[in-house]
Homo-oligomer: A and B are copies of this chain.
């Protein structure tokens, strides 16, 4: 529904027509537009996290598994551009927290990082929390995905190989 026509031009009237409802009827189920976006964000959240989980299981624990999760993150953002952008748009009104609340993609990545450290394949500085390095790795992939989806969307180039090499090199800096 939303996938085809972007996020900017996503009006309640258009959504209502697509759903066979009147615009006012939407307010029976949602408080406002932000609540609708929140609901969509939840859907995207689990879709992305299951994709990441699959990627994690495809590789043995260690830095390679972390790399697989990050590359899957990038692939999802590339294949599902609008969904990815919705997830990180400011239209929703979620109070995001890192650890408790189920930002599931983060949890999946953190598990992979934890396992890699347990395997002795990844070094974590003294005083650096597990969430910290997970956040850092997430941010690296997120920045690539975000730049390609917005700022560099008109920049015709194949980022795949560059992304992969850079992530591998970044993780190289986390070797024991």
Asked if B170 contacts A140 (CB within 8 A), the reply is yes
Q: How many residues of A contact B (CB 8 A)?
A: 43
A170 to B139, CA, bound (A): 12
**Copies of this chain assembled into the complex:** 2
Most chain B beta carbons < 10 A, residue from A88, A90, A143, A162: A143
CA distance A128 to B166 in the complex (A): 10
A165 touching B125 in the complex, CB below 8 Å, given contacts A144-B143, A170-B140: yes
| Cβ distance A135 to chain B, nearest Cβ, rounded Å | 7
Residue pairs across A and B with Cβ atoms less than 8 A apart, 30 shown, are A90-B150, A95-B154, A96-B152, A96-B154, A97-B154, A98-B152, A125-B165, A125-B169, A128-B165, A132-B162, A133-B166, A135-B147, A136-B162, A136-B163, A138-B143, A139-B144, A139-B146, A140-B140, A140-B143, A141-B143, A142-B146, A142-B147, A143-B144, A168-B173, A169-B170, A170-B173, A171-B173, A172-B173, A173-B174, A173-B175
